[in-house]
Chain A
Amino acid sequence: MNLPVLKAADFASDQDVRWCPGCGDYSILAQMKKILPDLGVPREKTVFVSGIGCSSRFPYYMNTYGMHSIHGRAPTFATGLKSTRPDLMVWVITGDGDALSIGGNHFIHCLRRNLDVNIVLFNNRIYGLTKGQYSPTSTEGQVTKSTPMGAIDHPLSPLSVALAAEATFVARSIDAHVQHLGKTLKAAAEHKGTSLVEVYQNCNVFNDGAMAYAQERKQRADNVIELEHGKPLIFGAERDKGIRLVGSHLEVVNTADVPADDLLIHDANDPNPSIQMMLARMRYPEMPEPIGVLRSVAGVSTYNDQINEQVTQAKAARGEGDLAKLFRSGDTWEVTA
């Protein structure tokens, strides 16, 4: 078959993008447009579903099908759509407030059902659209418009939540790390089952630099560790630091001091999420924060396959539904004139 070769620009809608200049959302949009042509899915078979928030304006900027829905509920719309139209590639675009606050429930259930959709969670650790209140991922003590004396909630990690829900694909990337971001989105798209990609996204208006330690090229090497399946966990500008598993916790070591064999080898395919959970819990500044694919487990049935399979099975076992026969099933009686 001769598919037309599409370019990034073909995925751009005719709508003006209205994010604040300098917002990290632009980079995510650009990477998405860049990887989509490589996936070989036509534009008309691609759907973006979003909730509400700055990030959730995303679908308007894509020349695909799209739905900008209601706050926190994007996974539910995606569930109905993908269950009835498994032929479509469905992306869920959400923010940290959208996915974890108002939509926490749906987020968990979408992951545990393993619906075959790709969730991209733009995490700027703040509420952008409502102008600067703290979010479920804001750090403790963070001063925001709604927390003048500092946030007192303990933050939630989307990766930990996803692993606890037994998600089959869990990854993280960074708006400013464009190659890594593109690669990660592509891996997510290729996964069968729910994929979650958390993207550190700078809100330069309300939370500028909150994740500079991970975003800025200079600091990144020491504060972030890039996970690759089957490879040892090594990081640092000089690649002189590594991660070792000691008992039931992880520690940072100097690669010069320990034999190479002692370093933890990343196993993204391990169905047991215990070590992946330890990685998800690594926090700056005590530890480098992991990016890349934490978990990618294949072979778990998807909700959309199963719901359709039951219909196929029922039709095979009982034949296509026959209305006239249904009406006359059970006890009936005749009334004659």
Chain B
Amino acid sequence: MSGRMAALRILLQIAFRDLFASRAKTLIVGGIILFGAVLVVVGSSLVDTVDAGMRASIQGSLAGHVQVYDARSKDPLALYGSMMGDPELTPFEDFARVKSAISAVPGVKQVVPMGLGTAMVSPGNLFDQAVAKLRADVRARLAGQGGPELEARTEAHAAHLRRMATLLRDDLRQATEIIEIGGKEAAERARNAEDLARATSPEFWDEELPRDPLAALEFLENRIAPLALEGTLIYIRYVGTDLEQFRRAFDRLEIVEGSLPPPGQRGLLIGKLYAEDYLKLRAARRLDQLQEAITLHHRKIAGDEELTRWVKEAGGQTREILMQLDPMQAAEAARRLRTALGSGEQDLGKLLGQLLAVDDRNFAERYRIFYGELAPMLQLYPFKVGDAVTVQGAARSGYTKSVNLKVWGLVQFKGLEKSGFAGVMSVMDIDSFRELFGWLTPEARAEIRGLKAAAGVKDLSREEAEASLFGSAPAAPPVVTGPVAAAPPGPAAPEQPHPLSREAGEGQGGGAATSPSDPDQGVALNAAVILDDPRHIPQAMRDIVAAGDRAGLHLKAVTWQEAAGMVGQFVTLARLVLYVAVLIIFAVALVIINNAMVMATLQRVTEIGTLRAIGAQRRFVWAMVLVESVSVGVAFGLVGSAIGAGVVWLIRAAGGIPATSDRMYFFFSGPSLLPRLGAGSLAVSLTIVLLVSVVSGLYPALIATRVTPLEAMQSGED
């Protein structure tokens, strides 16, 4: 043993002597190893931290520890959607059965029903929205309600519509002056002008509207509203769930504004990021983006193509603002802007143009004026917390379903606030999800079966239809009498009102109460499973599938990462990129070390030959070269790892790496990334370095063992 130690000491002495003797070579080889070690330590610390952050965010917001869905589903579960949109999942028709089976698995703490989907809200154009308000006033009057408050409201709504019609009339006049058209389009334009003249006339508002309000409203809706700007369709990605269970299971849920619907109440919580990025008044949104770019990222409008475009887009949105204001509000807004801008301009449109023509010098002031003076008079979002909105869903079984839902608040998931995938997610109560999904109760299914049976229709596929239907001409002409051909002419029988279905009445007004039944009774698309101990995820997944099999269910259990779809794959992708970079660096290192060692070996042929001549075994020579390459690797690898650890510590001490974009915000699971140095990162770094050193030393060592004393003497003679 002591002999071996002595040999090792000699080998090390030779190695370090050689390394010092050829410092340049040692520094080049060592530098590459050092850089690789730093990269492995820093890179893996960063990726590990991102991984841990995203795991916590995704588990704590939507996924839980394990997600379960029906194994017969066409698509894999993707909580944040996939490139192809929402995955098509086979629903759990009776979630209670699923929950009962999963809950029996040891270690399962909670099973939360879920249904992911995309709903639509169609607010119509601004004119449609304003007519709807006046229609509600008229309905209230017709229903016998009255009072000064209703009078004042009706008057304000009518004045707003009249102003909008005036703006549209002015637009049309301007368009007519600019472009001359002929033919059918000219006739159409003339008719529009006539309609707008009527819609802005005192007779219409003072006489026609009070005399026949419904007819006047229909004129506005059918002839004037189509001339206004096109309305937008708002798409809302949501998770339908039992809100109580969801709140208990996911601690990352954060109510930014408003509150959770009270127990037993239906409702919708809109994703905060979605509200900001997609719903906000466009001019305001562009100003916000400019503000963020200028103050946070220190960009300048001048010379920045993107910021210049945003300024132009904000300035092009004055019509949207003008249409929102009734005559009194418009006068007040103009007064405020004149004072704030120090302008003598009377026209509100031009004042808005002045306000939104921002540059680097005036931006801060104009931004303050917009939010301080104008924004309080505007509706910045199509709906606000507390409003009831009509939400539509393209039902899986059946046609589009609609429900009125109260917007109870704005939500975000801590750590995923800025994620374009997760931050836009809204939350909805499970009953509303089931209604939008078009879930048919057993009674509804029976009714449809009955209707089909009564119709007695023969199913014909596309292929057989033509032959079956037109294969032979009818022997006689078609029946020449109709069902009422012989009936005497005269007015039809008076219509009987349709009895309204129970479902129809329930949705009225929004914020309706959920049914008192168990929220687990009914359809769900997937379930989030929370475990007592997240370390047992693989075992729990196996147990859940087995429990499903025993219960005759087809359960598929996936981890949070798999369930997160594209989002979950980002960490894997980041790790892959790191590994590829490391692989390339160490492959280069391997080649360089190998070459350098081969050169060094060839230069030391005399020395090696002499060693062989005085009795050194091939094994000793082999070890000598190998120890040299391993020594340089280990020495520089250790230094590199230490530097890497220092870099990680410095990044932490400096407050982490700040996220400068939404995407980075998401990767960092917050506003900055505070990397943590793990023992794993160091171990991986050293292992890789050692491996590379050994492998790169093998070939030169082999060459060295082939050197004989004779060769040494011959080389000395040269």
- The judgment on whether A and B are partners is no
Q: What is B's interface to A at a CB cutoff of 8 Å?
A: none
Q: What is A's interface to B at a CB cutoff of 8 Å?
A: none
